[in-house]
């Protein structure tokens, strides 16, 4: 059974994961508007992934006898000054998600909630991957500065990302 503190914190993280999906969809729309379909596709895949993360929290709350309470999701930004600014924003966002996951781990330790600690370890590992992915793209974009040719090469590379949508079937109960 989830403690009241854990239930509240997990519901907040559930909201944050859905906000992340909403944010990445907003970023995809921005990239669509400036004709960078590879960046858009990559962000759409991120949005789906974040929705899957949210459903992991949703399912876990229910499995532990808690109650899911959906909350308002803030409107994400819709404009950025450049593609690099979008990716830097996304990296900073993932760093904030990491901070929040770490806080959840600490709360689970304080609550002596071993099941939640184990559940959260997946997210700890996932955040290492997320920060690395965004960090690599930001580093490449900073390296090539304002080169349109390089931006289009990165766009092509990001377009090659495949998202396994069949994974959704395993996440939704």
pLDDT of residue 97: 98
The whole-model pTM stands at 0.92
- The tokens for 75 are 């409107």
In contact, 100 and 13? CB cutoff 8 Å: yes
Q: How far apart are CA 58 and CA 64, in angstroms?
A: 10
pLDDT of residue 164: 61
Query: In terms of residue numbers, what domain contains 69?
Result: 4-171
pLDDT of residue 162: 79
pLDDT in tens, the chain (173 residues): 999 999 999 999 999 999 999 999 999 999 999 999 999 999 999 999 999 999 999 999 999 999 999 999 999 999 999 999 999 999 999 999 999 999 999 999 999 999 999 999 999 999 999 999 999 999 999 999 989 999 999 999 999 987 665 544 444 43
| CA 42 to chain centroid | 12
Helix (H, G, I), strand (E, B) or coil at 165: coil
Q: How many domains does the chain have?
A: 1
- CATH number at 138 reads 1.20.1260.10
Of 119, 87, 85, the residue nearest 101 (C-alpha): 119
């Amino acid at each position: 059974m989830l403690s009241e503190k854990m239930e509240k914190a997990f519901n907040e993280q559930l909201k944050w994961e859905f906000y992340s999906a909403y944010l990445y969809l907003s970023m995809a729309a921005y990239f669509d508007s400036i004709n960078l379909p590879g960046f858009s596709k990559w962000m759409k895949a991120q949005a789906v992934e974040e929705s899957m993360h949210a459903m992991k929290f949703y399912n876990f709350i229910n499995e532990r006898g808690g109650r899911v309470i959906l909350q308002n999701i803030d409107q994400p930004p819709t404009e950025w000054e450049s593609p690099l600014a979008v990716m830097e924003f996304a990296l900073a966002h993932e760093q904030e998600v990491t901070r929040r996951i770490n806080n959840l781990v600490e709360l689970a330790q304080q609550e002596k909630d071993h099941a939640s600690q184990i559940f959260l370890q997946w997210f700890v590992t996932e955040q290492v991957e997320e920060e690395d992915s965004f960090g690599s793209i930001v580093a490449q974009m900073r390296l090539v500065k304002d080169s349109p040719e390089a931006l289009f090469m990165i766009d092509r590379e990001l377009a090659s990302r495949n998202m396994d949508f069949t994974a959704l079937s395993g996440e939704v109960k």
